[in-house]
Structure 1
Amino acid sequence: MKNIVIVGGGAGGLELATYLGNNLGKKQRANVVLVDRNQTHLWKPLLHEVATGVLDSETDAVSYRAHAHNHYFNFEQGSITRIDRTNKYVELAPVTGQEGDVLVVARRIPYDYLVIAIGSKSNDFNTKGVAENCIFLDSPNQALRFQHKMLELFLKFSENNALEEIGEDDSKQRLVQDGKVNIAIVGGGATGVELSAELFNAAQHLSSYGYGKIQSGHLQVTLIEAGDRILPALPERISSSVQQELENLGVTVKTGTMITEATEKCLITKEGEEINADLMVWAAGIRVSAITQQFDGLEVNRINQLNVKNTLQTTVDDSIFAIGDCAFLLQKDGKPVPPRGQAANQMATICGQNIVALFNNKPLKDFHYFDKGSLVSLSKFTALGNITTGKRSSLTIEGRLARLAYISLYRLHQQKLHGCFKTGLIILIGRLNRFIRPSLKLH
């Protein structure tokens, strides 16, 4: 029996493991193994909701082990350290516990076919102080770290309000800058934009949960983008509309602004301006882990993406595939496939079909990226975007229709993982939880 190893349990990796498990693992034609450093999967576009507490990651997360059991594949927890292409195995680092004790020793996982789907992470471009003073939103743990710090800030704000109400001396040191909750977000892509709006939604909920009388003027959110406009992947008209909506909420949008340094309490721009903030998020640019440079001679580009052919096989080794953000493939127009969720989903589909084709001695398919459009959700306030209706035409949507289309993207991901019936039950349980659980995760 041949071994298929998939490294990375993001949207593309988990969908691929599910597909191959159902098609090859179930029939005992292959031993399918999914490797990930975490124990659970959460759809990455939801991390901004986890960060504000609107979404409880423990409720929506998918257990890799349970999902593997239900879909005829195996799960190995661990981080890849290298690939041996001659002997065809991947090496995993030991798994350690919270106190540093070794739970699982280093292992070698043999493969006949290997798929790299390790995704990407935010690129700080080696900007001084960013790694030490900013939070990235690349994983649920980082999102939870942001949420805990956000709740602490609002608790300090509540204490400030209490001091004012009892008439404390104004000379007493304030607990938050300027009597406001100051949050700065670097990066005007979807993550930065959606987080900016979600923060105002969270503030409204916190106001009703005993965090003081929080008004829009008490929350200062600054969104910083180095380019000339936010959401460069969307048409300029939609980008302008989104910026207007954000500014109406109270977000200060700074475009054409490059950050050169992050300190403990502020961001410093190229022009020397200081942007004060109690909490700073870096959501600008992407790069792949430098671990790909240890993958036994596979070709990588300047941001460590693996070069792949049209069949999604790596340029050096036909037994190794790469999908998602970690794969670099030029399209017919000379532009690379963008590092977006829909690209990862489409790659997972073609990669799965190609691996099954190899088992059936059939020709492989070329991957052709189809841009279905882009959508951005401004929390409960509105949603905007465009959907592709033909090869050269698109439709602009906003409001409830855009929000419905945005939600459907996540439902399609769930349907690929769980099937229609279980996804329907998940939706029903989610609606029931609206009445049972608080509107915001408060711990």
Structure 2
Amino acid sequence: MRAVDQHATTANQRGAHRIVIVGGGVGGLSLATRLGETLGKAGLAKIVLIDRSPTHFWKPLLHEAASGHIDPATHHLQYAVQAERHGFEFEQGELAGIDRAERHAMIAAMHDADGRDILPARRLAYDTLVLSMGSVTNFFGVPGAAEYALPLESVAHAEAFRRKLLDACLRANHARRTSQNVAPVSVNIIGAGATGVELAAALRDTVRLLNRYSQFALDPERDFRIRLIESGERVLPALSEAVSARAERMLGALGVEVLSVTRVTQVRADAVLTHDGRALESDIAIWTAGISGPPVLRSLDGVEVNRNAQVLVTRTLQTTVDSHIFALGDCAACPSHVTQGFLAPRAQVAHQQAQFLARALRSRVEGKPLPEFAYRDAGTLVGFGREGTIGSLSNSLLTRPVFVDGWFATAVYKLIYRKHVMTLTGFARMALDTASHWLRRRVHPVIRLH
């Protein structure tokens, strides 16, 4: 139940309450922006956001960046600019540890490509620390996976995948011109959750669009093989069986080969090996099968984590050991108020937790009781490129989720990102950003060729 934090007002004796947020993803940046507007600009607290990157990119768009449908540079938001506009401070760096006794977050030194120091190691004092560090790929110890299967955690990973795809297409196109006996370009996507399914569908659109240009003029059906490999019984296992079945039919219509109940036992440079002895030829393998918290979380002083390195938190999103430390988003194992389990690592969970903490931390600064977080599932939509969008929507007025597809589902799917941008920048800047992307798609090719 609700409780007054006995230590919340101690910072008032030393000056403004210091809230340090580590990680500028969906939850962290939204929280920093909201707190900067309410507490930072009013001088009630000092808000500091830490991230190792200088820019923010919305991770649900990574499959579009990887498939070449968007230019990531046009979707970046600079942390320093956001901080100046919304009343918080930005520190670039990576969390190395915490000193709970002194309440310091320790930031590792930054080095350039030649090993020279850019920024020294630093210690930032906090009264409240919020861990919003996202997640990293969990390869589950599969031999060769970390070496030969690309993750999809960042823009750098998306760009590496896209570059590999274009290079493979160039090689295959040259071989096709000089020989008739050419194996198709094989892309293996390991993991059929939302990210894997959306990437598979986007890649089918990509190869169709690449066929317009002579240097990539490969037959979309004959010269490409896209496999979606899932250890479970069906694609989109977190969604209903009806949505899963519809998704598999749509993938089939796109020419994506779905291999369910197929466990990957090894990844090699040229093949993906499965539990039933098959060696699936592979030009590119990408791993979307699971996540865990960043490794540094296991080493933090007194912070309790689960086996996936996610921070265990209470219903107030405070850690189980230290009431001065909160966690949200993918890096947090947050108990559900409906079931006995934990909330799934999803963007909408992080977004709602950021909204909740923006109110709760204001109460903490003012010495008021902390509320408890309750997640409201708004449903899930999955995009299939030219085939459309499917999923389910729900709210407090509906007794059960409602299946949606067609133009309505596609419109809502696109609006989710615009709502995220509006939360961070306001309606006017969001509208201008939307217009600039619309104009860009009419000036530049609809697929990136370089």
Decide: shared fold, TM above 0.5. Answer: yes
1:359 to partner: Cα distance:
1.8
Q: Distance in 2 between matches of 1:88 and 1:179?
A: 59
Q: Render the CA deviation track for 1:285-336: whole Å, top value 9, x for unaligned.
A: 1111221122111111111111111111111111111000111122232021
The reply on whether 1:198 has 2:202 as its aligned counterpart is: yes
Whether the 8 Å CA contact 1:161–1:212 is kept in 2: the answer is no
Residue type of the alignment partner of 2:340: G
Q: Distance in 1 between matches of 2:201 and 2:57?
A: 21
Moved more, 313-322 or 384-393: 384-393
Matching of residues 140-219 of structure 1 within 5 Å: 140-164=155-179, 178-210=182-214, 211-219=216-224
- Report the counterpart of residue 379 of structure 1 in structure 2: 385
Q: Distance in 1 between matches of 2:295 and 2:441?
A: 42
- Report the counterpart of residue 357 of structure 1 in structure 2: 363
Q: Render the CA deviation track for 1:246-291: whole Å, top value 9, x for unaligned.
A: 1111111000000010011111111111111100001001111221
- Secondary structure of 2:373 counterpart: coil
Q: Distance in 1 between matches of 2:388 and 2:155?
A: 25
Whether the 8 Å CA contact 2:35–2:358 is kept in 1: the answer is yes
What's the % identity of the aligned pairs?
Answer: 37
Moved more, 399-408 or 204-213: 204-213
- Report the counterpart of residue 260 of structure 1 in structure 2: 265
- Report the counterpart of residue 278 of structure 1 in structure 2: 283
Whether the 8 Å CA contact 1:160–1:179 is kept in 2: the answer is no
Whether the 8 Å CA contact 1:94–1:107 is kept in 2: the answer is yes
- Report the counterpart of residue 39 of structure 1 in structure 2: 54
The reply on whether 1:410 has 2:417 as its aligned counterpart is: yes
CA RMSD between the two structures: 1.2
1:215 to partner: Cα distance:
2.4
Q: Distance in 2 between matches of 1:277 and 1:250?
A: 17
Residue type of the alignment partner of 1:422: R
User: Aligned match of 1:2 in 17, 31, 35?
Assistant: 17
User: Aligned match of 2:351 in 325, 342, 345?
Assistant: 345
Normalised TM-score (structure 2): 0.94
User: Aligned match of 1:320 in 318, 325, 334?
Assistant: 325
Q: Distance in 2 between matches of 1:437 and 1:29?
A: 46
The reply on whether 1:55 has 2:62 as its aligned counterpart is: no
Matching of residues 113-128 of structure 1 within 5 Å: 113-128=128-143
Matching of residues 241-260 of structure 1 within 5 Å: 241-260=246-265
- Secondary structure of 2:235 counterpart: coil
- Secondary structure of 1:216 counterpart: coil
User: Aligned match of 1:70 in 55, 66, 85?
Assistant: 85
What is the aligned residue count?
Answer: 432
Any gaps of 5 or more consecutive residues in structure 1? 165-169
Moved over 3 A (4+): 389-392
- Report the counterpart of residue 126 of structure 2 in structure 1: 111
Q: Distance in 2 between matches of 1:387 and 1:254?
A: 28
Q: Render the CA deviation track for 1:394-419: whole Å, top value 9, x for unaligned.
A: 11011211111111111111111011
Q: Distance in 2 between matches of 1:52 and 1:394?
A: 30
Q: Distance in 2 between matches of 1:217 and 1:401?
A: 33
